[in-house]
Structure 1
Amino acid sequence: MKFASLGSGSRGNGTLVSWKDQLLLVDCGFTIKEVERRIERLGRSVAEITAVLVTHEHADHLKGVPPLARKYNLPVYMTPGTFRSRDLGKLPFLHLIEGYQAFQLDELEVLPVAVPHDAREPAQFVFQVAGKRLGILTDLGNISAHVESHFYDCDALLLEANHDPQMLASGPYPPSLKQRVGGPWGHLSNQQAAGFLARINADRLQHLVVGHISQKNNSLELARQVLKEVTDKIPRVEYACQDEGFDWINV
């Protein structure tokens, strides 16, 4: 199994997960043209995609899914709450994830995990194949015990470190949006991400990608500074960006 990113941030998200000859896209916050360009940069094509998973209905994760699915006749997986949150038009093959039940895509086991975020029925995911576990964990306001238990033992992890609390407080967002982003149903701060990493099974975690870093309320330098103590022992640590995402990582 390996994974890569089309881009990570408030202007669009998309993560690729590949195993054997299969290719899964998690979220699509880009136009069709942009998805095609970004996936070609990673040496693949949209025509290879097996299915699309959706974490929640916010535009930076969902807006590109319906047109992409219609153009390429792709199966789409999402929770009932996400599906009912807005009119997505006709989808060629819709699979509703009921009750956060695990399911299989070929040999890949997909475990949806409920997270605290201001969406209708948001999910993040743990993928497992051949004994390897990959976690994708962004867009949540706090690390609940439920979340921590599911992401405790991962070989690779894409983890949100969205904002620096001081930058958010003094930044350009209106007070209501600051409260939303920094609240328990918003996004993880650098400090929250660091605390989570300090509590999980660090001996197993071999690959960490820090993602969904705000371009207005955070910086790579601040994120690295806060996370340094808990990331020093992880063999491979990368920081995803909005424009380029990150290249393939083998799990």
Structure 2
Amino acid sequence: MPVYIASLNSGSNGNCYYVGNEHEAVLIDAGISCRETEKRMLRLGLSMQKVKAIFISHEHSDHIRGLCVLAKKYHLPVYATSRTAHFCGDIPNGLFRELFGYTAITIGSLVVNAFPKHHDAVEPHSFMITDGDIRIGVFTDIGAPCEHLINHFAQCHAAFLEANYDEGMLEAGRYPYHLKRRIRGGKGHLSNRQALQMFIDHKPHYMSHLLLAHLSKDNNDPELALQMFVPHAGNIHVSVASRYNESEVYCIDPAGAVAASGVSLNQITGQFQFALS
């Protein structure tokens, strides 16, 4: 069966990604409020009743801000490493599930695998979500590509891939030196150039969708990031996951992936959505 994916928000102001099939779904991170999560899913025609679990990549506030309220309201299991959970606030009693790297967790027909990544958090992980032969990657907050990331990206039918900053914009920007060093220092974030090189070198021939994620408000530009990928995209649909709105819902189907009938950013806000068909 096909898999449906959407970004509910992506950026330093909050991150939340939806991956599901016709029967069940998971959220990767819960960095926007419960109310905003509900509103955005409703606009997309997605049901919270299908969401069966929340997976937390790391403890930074833009990934956990709405976690406890959302988990409590919908009685959702929260999967995180024990060290990460320690910094996630009061996860409702009985809902915490300990997460271990490279240990598969089955949610209906979805199988979620976590693997470690380079980021300045206590125990950060990225995720691969599999349903049958379909593989979806959620790869954000990555200081540098590693073999874990490369091996998983090379298997994806679709992926959320961080393209956080433009190197020139960061260098010339207003951030203090210590923050610039943190961002580009190997445990911060991927630049547009690093993300593009990953894409060029390791995208599989069957990849259908790439969502550029976690773009910096001050040190990147969605059009700039997207246009770097255009000459290398071929038949892959490339779009930018917004820090202000939800994306479209995309149907990932190896037989021929197309955008699902959801509400687009254009319909919601009238803003231009950067996308390569």
Give TM-score, length-normalised by structure 2.
Answer: 0.86
Q: Report the aligned-residue RMSD.
A: 1.5
What SS class does the counterpart of residue 71 from structure 2 fall into?
A: helix
Q: CA deviation at 1:52?
A: 0.7
Q: Which residue of 2 aligns with 1:137?
A: 139
**Any stretches of 5+ residues in structure 2 without a counterpart?**
253-277
Q: CA contact under 8 A between 1:85 and 1:120: conserved in structure 2?
A: no
Distance 1:210 1:222, change over 3 A: same
Within 5 A, what are the aligned runs for 1:30-179?
A: 30-179=32-181
**Runs of 4+ deviating beyond 6 Å:** none
SS in 1 for 2:186: coil
8 Å contact kept, 1:190–1:227: no
What is the percentage of aligned positions where both structures have the same residue? 36
- 8 Å Cα contact 1:118-1:186 kept in structure 2: yes
Q: 1:33 & 1:42 partners in 2: Cα distance?
A: 14
Secondary structure of the residue aligned to 2:249 is strand
Provide closer, same or farther for how the CA distance between residues 86 and 237 of structure 1 changes in structure 2, counting only shifts above 3 A: closer
Match for residue 5 of structure 2? 3
1:250 paired residue number? 251
Instruction: Kindly report which structure 2 residues correspond to 1:185-196, keeping only aligned pairs within 5 A, or say none.
Output: 185-196=187-198
Structure 1: runs of 5+ lacking an equivalent: none
User: Which deviations, in whole Å up to 9, do the C-alpha atoms of 1:14-55 show, x marking residues without a partner?
Assistant: 111111211211111112221121111111243432111111
Task: Provide the residue aligned with 1:202 in structure 2.
Answer: 204
The residue aligned with 1:239 is 240
Q: Whole-Å Cα distance in 2 between the matches of residues 88 and 176 of structure 1?
A: 32
> Structure 1-normalised TM-score?
0.94
The count of aligned residue pairs is 250
Q: d(CA) in 2 for partners of 1:79 and 1:128?
A: 20
Query: Does structure 1 retain, via aligned residues, the 8 Å contact 2:4–2:251?
Result: yes
